[in-house]
Structure 1
Amino acid sequence: MNIEQVVQTAVSDLALGSVFTFDDLYGVVQQRRGRRLRIVELAEIGDHDGLCAVWLTTDEDDIIIHARTDSALHRQQFVLHELSHMILGHCDGDECTETDVLLPDIPPHTRARLLRRQDLDSDTEIAAESLADRLAAGIRGSAFAESRYFEVFG
């Protein structure tokens, strides 16, 4: 897998341009997936627990649950990483339909994603983090474009 090419294609397919807001991205992802998207902070978990964020699905919703952090940028990166998995189509189709009798009340595709999260050096995790970085840059560009940042700080 050529991760840079995959990420570049994903960015182009979003058709957001090089500068956009988080709300623009949120709307595009929700519309492309045809599902409601919810983002929820869970104060009971923190990055000390080894879990920053997780993407869960129900029949109607995509839900991103993220750890509490005082850093808005850190929190944004948690969410962008999970959005990147959605954008890249990770766990679409048969990829995450493994069965697991240990967690019978959790849908199979969700179980598979949760149980595979330990492989942080996999191509899918690297691609998701790379795309999240690109999305963060686009959002930062929007923040600067909507302000006098460049006039002030040149």
Structure 2
Amino acid sequence: MNSEVSVSTALDQLALGETFTFDELVGAVQRSRGRRLRIVELVGVTGRDGLCAVWFEAGGDDVILHAQSDSVLHEQQFVLHELAHMILGHEVDEDSDVPDILLPDIPPETRRRLLRRQDLNTVKEVQAETLADHLAAAIRGSTMHRSRYLEVFG
């Protein structure tokens, strides 16, 4: 799943079946990317603050930071959207250039990704949200209720 793929192809490549747990999904993403995945809630930040979630690479790991929400399902959707970007192969656009004067301590590729996030009607954003919806449905359909999902989302 290193190159960009369609939503249906991405679901097939996960090889998780029609239903799976949040843990199984996280494990499949980690295996496919060959990296550890850390999911961290941003305490005191809500979706109303303009940031729902962000995915970036740090120290050889993938990291998803997500905002708090009164709805567990809403928080789940924040994270699933970022997982969908990973699964679909939506890597950082190396052609765009963000001046380092704005955020000098953040690597250029991370700055590009963070600052691009205002346009939610792009093909990649729509694909990621579509896949996130499919992932959420598969998790809800899972008969296994004990998972890291409860650890992450309460």
TM-score by length of 2: 0.84
Correspondence for 2:17: 17
Correspondence for 1:150: none
Contact 1:96 1:108 (8 Å CA) reproduced: no
**Residues 44 and 96 of structure 1: CA distance in aligned 2, closer, same or farther (over 3 Å):** farther
Task: List aligned pairs for 1:8-87, cutoff 5 A.
Answer: 8-87=8-87
**Equivalent residues, number:** 139
- Relative to its length, the structure with more helix (as a share) is 1
For 1:88-130, what per-residue CA distance to the aligned partner results, in whole angstroms no more than 9, with x for missing partners? 11115xx246443222321222111111100100000000000
Contact 1:46 1:69 (8 Å CA) reproduced: yes
Correspondence for 1:107: 107
Give secondary structure in 2 for the equivalent of 1:38.
Answer: strand
Identical counterparts, % of pairs: 61
Q: Which runs of 5+ in 2 are unaligned?
A: 146-154
Aligned equivalents of 2:91, 2:127: Cα separation in 1: 14
Counterpart of 1:110 in structure 2: which amino acid?
T
**Residues 146 and 35 of structure 1: CA distance in aligned 2, closer, same or farther (over 3 Å):** closer
Aligned equivalents of 2:138, 2:70: Cα separation in 1: 22
Aligned equivalents of 1:97, 1:31: Cα separation in 2: 28
Alpha-carbon distance, 1:44 to partner: 2.1
Rg larger for: 1
For 1:43-87, what per-residue CA distance to the aligned partner results, in whole angstroms no more than 9, with x for missing partners? 121111111111121131111000111211111100000000111
Contact 1:47 1:67 (8 Å CA) reproduced: yes
Correspondence for 1:134: 134
Contact 2:21 2:144 (8 Å CA) reproduced: no
Between 1:18-27 and 1:43-52, the stretch displaced more is 43-52
Q: Which runs of 5+ in 1 are unaligned?
A: 148-154
Which structure has more RCO (C-alpha within 8 Å, separation ≥ 6)? Answer: 2
Aligned equivalents of 2:58, 2:27: Cα separation in 1: 19
Aligned equivalents of 2:120, 2:108: Cα separation in 1: 20
Give secondary structure in 2 for the equivalent of 1:44.
Answer: strand
Q: Give the superposed CA RMSD.
A: 1.6
Contact 2:66 2:78 (8 Å CA) reproduced: yes
